[in-house]
Structure 1
Amino acid sequence: MSRIGKRPINIPAKVEVAIDGQQVAIKGPKGQLSRILPAEVTVEQEGSTILVKAKNDSRPARQRHGLSRTLVSNMVEGVSTGFQRRLEIQGVGYRAQVQGRNLILNVGYSHQVQIEPPEGVQLAVENNTNVIVSGIDKEIVGNTAAKIRAVRPPEVYKGKGIRYAGEVVRRKAGKAGKK
């Protein structure tokens, strides 16, 4: 039995939950999310909590129990507070700017890289080097941040590139001088 799956999900004020079989729809101040959960789990609402239970003790049911609980919990948190992912750009001349909804990156290529965010994701830039990806769906926010980081991942010799805030990049020594 999943330890995470057993934990109840508290529903904050101003958040509405609609459960229709395997379809879970959650509406809050930031927006609305819905998801179809696997057939191996059941979802029940008891007062101001949501319980996710495995239908039986089979291996697929146990595998999806904790996952389903986490997905529903992320939906509740997303519509009430939202999610945010911060990226830092390091390197001489490397910078970012927002043009309309799109993100324009100057990261050492001969051209600017333009990234168009998916629906429901907002991009913001602070001090030309800090990019903030925010939205209500944790999965989409994380994927968008990963795509931005993949444009120029941090390299190991000088540390130049795009990294997550707080990410530690292991550095290599480089060439030893002639003797």
Structure 2
Amino acid sequence: MASHIGKLPVAIPAGVEVKIDGQNFEAKGPKGTATYEIPEGITASVEGTDIVLTPADDLRPTRAKHGLARSIMAGMVKGVHEGYAKTLDIVGTGYRAVVKGKGIEFFLGYSHTITVNPPEGIEFEVPNPNQVIVKGTDKQAVGQVAANIRKLRAPEPYKGKGVKYADERILRKAGKAGK
């Protein structure tokens, strides 16, 4: 029995070139290239405009990775075609971000500024001082860089100050009751 997710074909959009050489998978698109080593026992093939993955019937551990391999490959195809982005909002008086070279300098209420330089394949965009957009072709890398920036000053529950994801809701707590 194969994975329900793994059975689904991965659609290849126009403008994306896919190459499968044994266990090596490579996707090239307008945003960049991505490579992945397909786990042993899983075969991938291009049929028309789809990528189809087939697990070996006799290897149970391989079948467990069937859906994972399909999800990773689908993410790579989407990443080289459209790319991924995470938007972070900076909330608080005097809190802001400024572009400094390729990196960003954050003013987050500490006695010093914090400079974050983008790793390979990641780029930053600052449409206004209270918003940062992290972009890239690798979904995991974009999410990790955004999480690292959020960790610099995580939002606090009383006033909501800090760095938060744009779609994140901060559960607010009541302060001390006055006399």
Q: Aligned residue for 1:170?
A: 171
Query: Does 2:38 match 1:52?
Result: no
Q: Given the two structures, how large is their TM-score scaled by the length of structure 1?
A: 0.94
SS of equivalent to 1:62 = helix
Alignment of 1:1-179 (within 5 A): 1-56=2-57, 58-178=59-179
2-side partners of 1:2 and 1:84: how far apart? 29
Gaps of 5+ in 1: none
Q: Which amino acid aligns with 1:106?
A: F
Quote the RMSD (CA, aligned, Å): 1.3
Q: Distance in 2 between matches of 1:123 and 1:37?
A: 31
CA distance in 2, matches of 1:40, 1:64: 10
Query: Within 2, Cα distance between the matches of 1:143 and 1:117?
Result: 11
Q: Secondary structure at the match of 2:65?
A: helix
Cα distance, 1:58 vs. partner?
Answer: 4.7
1:64 is aligned with what amino acid?
A: K
CA positional deviation for 1:45: 1.1
Percent identity between matched residues is: 49
CA shift for structure 1 position 69: 0.6
Contact 1:105 1:112 in 2 (8 A): yes
- Counterpart of 2:90, as a letter, is I
Q: CA deviation at 1:125?
A: 0.7
- Distance in 1, matches of 2:116 and 2:170, equals 24
Instruction: State the number of aligned residues.
Output: 178
Which of structure 1's runs of 4+ aligned residues deviate more than 3 A? none
SS at 2:25 equivalent:
strand
How far residue 39 of structure 1 moved from its aligned partner, in angstroms, is 1.5
Q: Give the TM-score taking structure 2 as reference length.
A: 0.94
* Cα distance in 2 for residues equivalent to 1:53 and 1:86: 36
Q: Distance in 2 between matches of 1:17 and 1:71?
A: 14
1:157 Cα deviation after fit: 1.0
Q: Is the contact made by 2:56 and 2:63 (CA closer than 8 Å) also made in structure 1?
A: no
Cα displacement (A) at 1:76: 0.6
Partners of 1:2 and 1:153 lie apart in 2 by 37
Letter of the structure 1 residue corresponding to residue 150 of structure 2? R
1:153–1:161 CA contact under 8 A, matched in 2: yes
* Inter-partner Cα distance in structure 2 for 1:112 and 1:120: 24
**Pairwise CA distance, 1:57:** 6.0
Give the SS at the match of 1:72.
helix
- Rounded to whole Å, the distance in 2 between the matches of 1:53 and 1:142 is 29
CA shift digits 1:4-39 (9 cap, x unpaired): 211111111121111112110111111111111222
